[in-house]
Structure 1
Amino acid sequence: MQQASAADLTARVALLERRLERERSARRTAEEIGERATSELFEAVQNLQRAQAEIQGRADQARTVTELAREVRRELDLDGLLQRAARGLGEALGADSCTVRLTAGDRATALARWARPGSGCDGSAGTPLGDPAAELAGGSPAGRWASTRAATPVLVGEQLVGWLELESSQPRSWTERDVAIAEGLARELGAAVSQARVYADQQATVERLRELDLAKTEFVSTVSHELRTPLTSITGYLEMLLEEALGELTPHQVKALTVIDRNAQRLQLLIGDLLTLSGVDAGAFRLDLAPVHLGTVVADACAAVRPLLERRVLDIAVEVPDDLGVVHGDGTQLERVVSNLLTNAVKFTPDGGRIRVAAADDEHGVSLSVADTGCGIPLDEQDRLFTRFFRSTISQEQEIQGSGLGLAITKAIVDGHGGGVDVESAPAAGTTVTVRLPRHPPAAGVA
């Protein structure tokens, strides 16, 4: 019994030792797992912190580049643009000076320098670090970053157009952030330089066109004045001939002189129109403002176009109320407006058609319209009706005479009165032109 009990005790002790060892092994394993997990967690936290720092750094770089680019793109003048870039990059990177140099081959085409006040650095950077020609031979040019000077290329596509050069009076370490911001601004600057050059070319073109337009206006005005003098003599002698002051005429001669007189009057009107538009362009066209009865203006205009109605079969209706009231305007020029509209209506309305002239008060002043049942105007041409010398395809196809100046002059006169002109038209359905005039125009001139 005693021997059995001792054996049992020994077995139990051995079992307990094995259990204890297993527990110790499990504890060691758990500790190792815990240590590894803690290490991995610590490493993950560090990676996360590094990633967050990198994201924040990139966001800061992008924000800085965006702000610099926005500041640069605010300027369209090339010199001003380069100066903004030099100052902005120098201040953003804490450099003592920054130089923006545009190049064409070995030749500098533009230069802008900025130096920090009191830095002792005058910003007169020398040649770029790295020869652009040598760099291009091996592919895209690369920047150079030394302890006191740095340079990064400005590219448009694959073409080298310049350099951004930074300088520090003391040795320093240029960080990845510095490089990223400089390279980012260099990319933006390449696009901005292209934009500025295109803008400069456009401005030069506009200036040349303005000079040509001024020369054209002066030429037209000079020629018109020069034509008026001999034309006055021609019409004077025509009048004497038709009145037979220089001798009796045969019917055939009278007919021939009448044709000459009619075309001389057309030429006089054309010269008058050209002089009017030249005056508008030069700012010399003025309105003689006074109280005007539109009913009288319409009646006088109808009388002026009456010769056009000879040998024509047209139904003309005038609907102007007696109590229409008074407009403060230039009676002569307003009669010219109505005459131009009536002349067009007569020209473009075939025999058997109708023309209606109407006027009425509205809430803003007075409206006057001339409507016809003529050939109408194609929709795609209506936005050019008031363009000088414009003649619709219909007028050209039907060989209807005209200079294309009447509606341009009409609009200039109405604009001078502070009013507006509207057109409603459709091919083969007629045209209605409506002029709206305020009671009191804002100015006595045409801009």
Structure 2
Amino acid sequence: MTSTNAVLEELARSLRDRRDSSALRRAALEWAVRWTRAVDGAFLVRESEGWRCQEALHDPLFWERDWELPERADPSGWWDRENIRFLAIPLREGLEWLGMREPDPAIPTDRQIGSAAGLLIGLALEAARDREAYASFFSTAVHELRLPMTSIKGYADLLAKGIAGPLTDPQRRFVEIIRSNIDRLAGLVNDLLEYSRIETGRLRMRWESISLREILQEALQRMRAEMEGRGHRVEVDLPGDLPMVASDRERLISILSKVLDNAAKYTPPGGEIRIRAVWTGEAVLCEITDSGIGISPEDQARLFTPFWRSEDPMVREIPGFGLSLAVARGLLQAMGGGIEIESALGQGTRVRIRLPAAQESQW
């Protein structure tokens, strides 16, 4: 007989990394049907006219009937009727029932498993609902922000072109400041949207087989004005036999641009930025090393915390929102890669980006 701990551990593994409520319900149903050897399973939710099938594993039509289910859960978490075994899922706003059709009668309705499993699934669903509400808020906020931003940028561009009349030199500088800050705000809005997608599991990748050399050139082109303005020396060392990487093109450019932007901002004028890449036999490793101000061990432990910024005065004097590295890590993890940072105060920073090589079978 499988132990209680083993059954619950399997459930926990099934629910792990499921971000949205539909995926969580399906994972829970697959676990329940597998464990009880049932032929089908479904989630039933309470609505004004009765209990309705929210998600079925195989046959949703079977579950569309007037179920007379209790409004409150039995302490054991179980309720049986018509060869259906129900498991109560407690939520903040009431119950859902997970039904298992024709379970093996030899599988006992263990009280401990019932109450613990219902609680685990309920907590996971509540967390998913919170993430979905969070994502909905972010999507609305981003949309509402983009409308006035587009308008401001459009009118600033018209002013810069002299549509409303010639500009004096001070007026032209003011317009450039407006455009620069709108671009900065647009970057924050895009990061917020990406972060929301990562957190809610709604990130969708456009996979391609990509040349890292080509992507780096595009990222460097985006950062060229910043680096040249600060007099940075940039050294690039990429071997000619690097394999192609499997990635989302625009997102990889964005990741490399974020890392290069940090290197440029936190490296004093006249400093050095070195870029190299190697094939490890398992992944392509891209390293971006700068001769900048470096990062303390305490700050390194929090670098990937969303919206966190160091209290170091040298960091605080440079504008930023504390979101770019969190987004970069989330995107890289979704690509099957990763990011690590090695640094010391006053001795610069090395960022290692690991990217999966493209396999011929993928395309």
TM exceeding 0.5 = yes
CA apart distance, 1:284:
2.6
Where 2:166 maps in the other structure, the secondary structure is coil
Rounded to whole Å, the distance in 2 between the matches of 1:203 and 1:394 is 43
- 1:361 pairs with 2:361: no
Aligned length: 264
Find the counterpart in structure 2 of residue 272 from structure 1.
Answer: 190
Using a 3 Å threshold, how does the CA distance of structure 1 residues 71 and 406 change in structure 2: closer, same or farther?
closer
Return the letter of the residue paired with 2:153.
T
Distance 1:260 1:293 in 2: 36
Q: Secondary structure in 1 aligned to 2:276?
A: strand
Task: Find the partner of 1:339 among 234, 257, 260.
Answer: 257
**Match of 1:7?**
none
Write out aligned runs for 1:64-143 (5 A).
Answer: none
Match of 1:427 in 2: 345
Unpaired runs of at least 5, structure 2: 10-73, 77-111
What letter is aligned with 2:272?
R
Measure the CA separation in 1 of the matches of 2:253 and 2:131.
Answer: 29
Q: How far apart in 2 are the matches of 1:399 and 1:442? A: 47
What amino acid does structure 2 have at the position aligned with 1:307?
A
Among candidates 316, 321, 326, match of residue 244 of structure 2: 326
Q: 1:222 to 1:206 in 2, by over 3 A?
A: same
Cα distance in 2 between the residues matched to 1:231 and 1:300: 25
Superposition TM-score, scaled by structure 1 size: 0.52
Q: 1:397 to 1:406 in 2, by over 3 A?
A: closer
Q: 1:377 touches 1:392 (CA, 8 Å); kept in 2? A: no
* Partner residue, 1:284: 202
Distance 2:264 2:361 in 1: 32
CA shift, 1:235, in A, is 1.1
Query: Amino acid of the residue matched to residue 162 of structure 2?
Result: E
Q: Label 1:397 to 1:299 Cα distance change in 2 as closer, same or farther (>3 A).
A: closer
- How far apart in 2 are the matches of 1:224 and 1:417? 24
Structure 2 distance, partners of 1:395, 1:232, is 33
Name which one, 1 or 2, has greater alpha-carbon Rg: 1
Q: Which amino acid aligns with 1:430?
A: G
**Percent of matched pairs sharing the same residue:** 33
**Aligned to 1:338, what secondary structure does the other structure show?**
helix
Amino acid at match of 1:391: R
Judge conservation of contact 2:219–2:254 (CA < 8 Å) in 1: yes
Q: Distance in 2 between matches of 1:271 and 1:408?
A: 14
Spell out, residue by residue over 1:391-418, the C-alpha distance to the aligned partner (whole angstroms, 9 max, x if none): 1232675422111111112112211221
Is the CA contact (8 Å cut-off) linking 1:395 and 1:401 kept in structure 2?
no
**1:75–1:247 CA distance, 2 compared to 1 (3 A):** closer
In 1, Cα distance between equivalents of 2:334 and 2:198: 10
Bigger relative CO (Cα 8 Å, ≥ 6 apart): 2
Partner residue, 1:298: 216
1:246 partnered with 2:164: yes
Could you say which structure has the higher helix fraction? 1
**Structure 1 residue 209, shift from structure 2 partner:** 6.0
Q: Which residue is 1:372 aligned to?
A: 290
In structure 2, distance between residues paired with 1:443 and 1:269? 35
Relative to structure 1, the CA distance from residue 392 to residue 327 in structure 2 (aligned partners, 3 Å threshold; closer, same or farther) is same
* Alignment check: 8 A CA contact 1:372 1:432 kept: yes
User: How far is 1:201 from its partner?
Assistant: 9.8
CA deviation map 1:369-406 (0-9, x unaligned): 11111121221232322221121232675422111111
- In the alignment, the residues of structure 2 paired with residue 240 and residue 374 of structure 1 have an alpha-carbon distance, to the nearest angstrom, of 38
What is the one-letter code of the residue matched to 2:161?
E
SS, match of residue 305 in structure 1:
helix
Quick one: distance in 2 between partners of 1:279 and 1:442? 29
TM superposition shift of 1:111: 6.8
User: Alpha-carbon deviations, 1:49-95, whole Å to 9, x = none?
Assistant: xxxxxxxxxxxxxxxxxxxxx989x999xxxxxxxxxxxxxxxxxxx
CA deviation after TM superposition for structure 1 residue 283, in Å: 2.7
Paired residue type of 1:306: R
CA RMSD of aligned residues (A): 3.5
Q: 1:442 to 1:227 in 2, by over 3 A?
A: farther
Tell whether the 8 Å contact from 2:223 to 2:260 is kept in structure 1 after alignment. yes
3-state SS of paired residue (1:410): helix
Q: Equivalent residue for 1:385? A: 303
In structure 2, distance between residues paired with 1:365 and 1:269:
29
| Aligned twin of 2:322 | 404
